[in-house]
Structure 1
Amino acid sequence: MSLVVAFTGRETAVMAGDLREMLMQGPDAGIRTFERELYQGSIMSDDSLMQRAGELGIGLIVRDDKCKVSEREGVLIGEVTESEGERVRKRRLYAVPGAYAIADIEPGRFDLRSRGEGSTFVILGNEITREIAHGIIRTSW
């Protein structure tokens, strides 16, 4: 479950991301079921993650070393990736002090989804991780 969080302030921008990457192989229907359960919050621990993948006949590799945040010429870049067979889709967040942009990227296609200005938090991830992050920001900031 990928998560990238950025804050664009008037004078600075900061960004952080998790390091988890999950690679799945197996029947399409099983993977769809597994992802739906995972992203709806039904799978809550690494043990239940591996158990449920096995029940659905899914080969699962979990790594905790994927760098999802980088910096290029003063621009912070965060990226989450989704793959389906050979197809790879990326959602990328660009942040500088006072501004951000979000783009969807597929081979041969770059689609600017949104952009904004001012001091704000921007979160990339699935619905559950975004809800959790927004909740923490609201109660702690």
Structure 2
Amino acid sequence: MSLIISYIGSNGCVIAGDKRRIGFVGDKDNREKLEKYLYSGAIQTDDELIKVAKELEISIKISDDAQKVRSIDNNVVVGEVASKTPFEARRKRIYGATNGYIITELLGSNIDKMKDGDSSIIVFGNKITKKMANEYLQEHWKSKLNLNDVSTIFQKVLEEVSAKTPSVSKEFDIVTKHSNLDKKEAQKVLRETIVEDVKRLQKWREELKEQQMNVSKTMELASKIVNEGIIGQIKSIEGNKLFVTLNNNIQAFDVQWNMVAGPGDLIEMNTDDSSSLNVGDMAVIQNENLCIARTKSPIQCDVILCKIE
């Protein structure tokens, strides 16, 4: 679901890309059938895509907020097309600068393939978008163009293609760079940029994995929060502070889901009036309310109480 066009020359570089993302959910065979229709050019509008998806019982989500092209420092532009499944993410990127480019293919955050060159017009996209873009470029390209001319042609290409297929958005980004790099300098700058860019990707993936693990842990523990049953027994009372020994199937966690007490440990609770309470009284949760079983007196604590299965 992309169209990215890059011009790499001795006078600078220009990169343009659409912003469309489409997510498919449903039967695998029907998803593949829908994608085949889409990439063949048989589907030409968003409405047609939605209609065919509905007929194939495929849920789709269309958004036009993807950033597929970007600028890095004063020298380098980057364009990326990506495909993601629950099991892996594949990325194809072009890094461009004056007098040089490098195309990388990444699996996850590992570089799988690399290819370099010094000048070219390079198009990323599916079969139909590449075909339409190349036809327009062949028709309108001239031997001597400045970077503004190139930018204008790329804009026209994206407008033309987006009018004929829903795999490309009508919104797009264009980035132009001009720097004084010779071919050797360009390759050096590009390789240094790629190393740093992949490091950032690896760090982002590690942070995302950690976030996902934290979410998973939160969901798991949240499902164990006690909403009914015995919590523990009062061991001592100091004013309105109660020190409760946790039951043998209860753990206590702080708001960051760090365990602060386990079975048999003491935790502090509070009450507005302890005059009617005795050592040995049971702290319980009844109707999702924390209280003393004998008196029904409400009590409070600053921890999350979970049951051990």
TM-score range, shorter chain: over 0.9
Match of 1:70 in 2: 70
In structure 2, distance between residues paired with 1:109 and 1:59:
31
Match of 1:90 in 2: 91
> If each structure's strand is expressed as a fraction of its own residues, which one has the higher value?
1
Pairwise CA distance, 1:22: 0.5
- Contact 1:100 1:117 (C-alpha < 8 Å) held by counterparts: yes
The answer for unaligned runs of 5 or more in structure 2 is 142-309
Match of 2:51 in 1: 51
Amino acid at match of 1:95: G
- Contact 2:6 2:15 (C-alpha < 8 Å) held by counterparts: yes
Amino acid at match of 2:50: M
Alignment length, in residue pairs? 140
- Contact 2:17 2:69 (C-alpha < 8 Å) held by counterparts: yes
Post-superposition Cα deviations, 1:18-57, rounded to whole Å, max 9, x if no partner, equal 0111011111111111111111111111111001111111
In structure 2, distance between residues paired with 1:49 and 1:12:
38
Pairwise CA distance, 1:114: 2.3
In structure 1, distance between residues paired with 2:12 and 2:18:
21
Amino acid at match of 2:14: V
Pairwise CA distance, 1:108: 4.7
The answer for unaligned runs of 5 or more in structure 1 is none
In structure 2, distance between residues paired with 1:5 and 1:25:
29
Match of 2:191 in 1: none
1:102/1:17 CA distance change after superposition, 3 Å: same
Q: Rg: which structure is higher?
A: 2
Match of 1:116 in 2: 117
DSSP-derived class of the 2:31 partner = helix
In structure 2, distance between residues paired with 1:86 and 1:37:
25
Q: What's the TM-score once normalised by structure 1's chain length?
A: 0.93
Amino acid at match of 1:26: G
Match of 1:3 in 2: 3
Q: Which has the higher contact order (CA 8 A, sep 6+)?
A: 1
DSSP-derived class of the 2:115 partner = strand
Pairwise CA distance, 1:85: 3.3
In structure 1, distance between residues paired with 2:38 and 2:57:
15
- Give RMSD over aligned pairs: 1.3
Q: What's the TM-score once normalised by structure 2's chain length?
A: 0.44
Match of 1:132 in 2: 132
Post-superposition Cα deviations, 1:84-105, rounded to whole Å, max 9, x if no partner, equal 3332211111111121121111
Match of 1:32 in 2: 32
The percentage of aligned residue pairs carrying the same residue is 31
> If each structure's helix is expressed as a fraction of its own residues, which one has the higher value?
2
